[in-house]
Amino acid sequence: MKSIAQIAAELQGYDPQALSAADVSRFLSQLVEPVQDVMELPLFEALGRVLAADVVSPFDVPPHDNSAMDGYAFAGAQLAAGTALALKVVGTALAGKAWQGMVGAGECVKIMTGAIMPSGLDTVVPQEFVNVQADTVTLPAQLLQPGDNRRLRGEDLMRGRPALLKGELLTPARLGLAASLGLKTVRTWRPLRVAYFSTGDEILSLGEAPREGAVYDSNRYTVFGMLRRLGCEVIDMGVVRDDPALLEAAFTRAAAQADAIITSGGVSVGEADYTKAMMKKLGDVVFWKIAMRPGRPMAVGRISQAKSASSPMDSGASSSQNNSNPNGDSRFADGSPQGETAPPGGSEPHGVGSVGAILFGLPGNPVAVMVTFLAFVRPALLQMMGSTAPAAPLLKARSLEPMRKKPGRTEYQRGWVSTTADGSLQVKTTGNQGSGVLSSMAQANGLVVLHHAQGSVKAGEEVDVMMFEGVL
């Protein structure tokens, strides 16, 4: 396991005070490691999990040559260029069982989609293309080639070969593929456990009365949503005030039960340094200024697990499954009333070993939190989940408006992507692009990614877009 200093030494031109988005991604790929615990899950419980082993096909799919069409099967060698072909129908082959008769020259079998091809037959003519007269069908000239409309044995999957690969996310299509092999269970890596809390005395919890200078905690809910979409077990620790003792307790409890810790707030220059100081005290942590907008401040590293770390419930911290005190009102990590029940669906606390947890300290502004999560944290968490899936693809869209930008930083602008009459993509921004303006994020369906070396964009020029579908 490499230290922060070792990883930094391997990055050419590494500068924590002016780090490019590409260097952030490279750094995190060296920092994080996949979980190692394997689970055997029924298919209905495996959606969104990551395969821990190849799924090898126990048989050929399809197991026999079969018809791809409703039509008539015959020996394709009888086709002659420029000549119509008349064939006598001598039987019917249905899906689900083999037809046992014999087919000679000048004969064919009516066949249903999926039915096994009778012996000696290799071609199917769709029923809508033939002329039927009593028990004879006539094929037009130059309609088919030998072998047309036949599915070959094993053309989908071959016995003994991997049907699904270790590291693949189990999507609905992949669940169906596993089921088509007769598998009741699959081996997956266990879900990633991620603890999250907001920091700051200015943060209000839902249910608290408004007060001057304070804001309600939206970050807790956006982070929760993004983690749940990713399939993580979310350990919701609420709001932790700017108090060294409370912060230390929150970090050590989180490290004792989670694979990763995400915080928002407390990492910017000029803010109260309790959060940053505690990160330094408890772990191997670096503080970055990233050449990006929105975002820029971010902390990453490892937070150590205390040898005698207590359960997160000992002082009122809440997990996403068990977060109520005996009096029935929910509590945050500092013991203050939470005002609402934390979202369901988490797990009981689990220690993750002496190495502690990977830390992602995000900025406090709502949009900056979401952008840094999508750009950097989500790919890193996928790697920790054991996924080999590539980063979300960037699509090309034509900008409907000019976009001002200076080279030297990566910008992520909130946009609405739509389809033109000719099927191409176009994009426009969604209002105020300030890092605290969450409404323009809510109105967007993707991010316009303006790369590090890129300058201003003219209306009509193509830009890269990162779509939210399936992510947010």
Q: Which H or E run contains 215?
A: strand 215-216
- Here the tokens at position 317 are 């911290």
Residue in this structure with the two tokens 């060698």, named with its chain if needed: 77
Q: How far apart are CA 195 and CA 303, in angstroms?
A: 12
- CA–CA dist 287, 400 (Å, integer): 37
Please provide the DSSP assignment of 394-420 as one string: PEEEEESS-B---TTSEEEEEEEEEE-
Q: Quick one: how far is CA 105 from the chain centroid?
A: 55
Q: Which helix (H) or strand (E) element contains residue 240?
A: strand 233-240
Handedness of CA 457, 458, 460, 461 (dihedral sign): negative
Q: Rounded to an integer, what distance in angstroms lies between the CA atom of residue 416 and that of residue 401?
A: 12
> For position 271, what pLDDT does the model report?
54
Residues in the chain, pLDDT under 50? 307-354
Res 204: pLDDT: 86
Residue 62, pLDDT score: 93
CB–CB of 265/258 below 8 Å? no
pLDDT value, residue 270:
59
- How much is the pTM? 0.83
Helix (H, G, I), strand (E, B) or coil at 255: helix
Domains defined for the chain, CATH in brackets: 4-37+191-384 (3.40.980.10), 41-61+155-189 (3.90.105.10), 66-151 (2.170.190.11), 395-467 (2.40.340.10)
Q: Quick one: pLDDT at residue 355?
A: 64
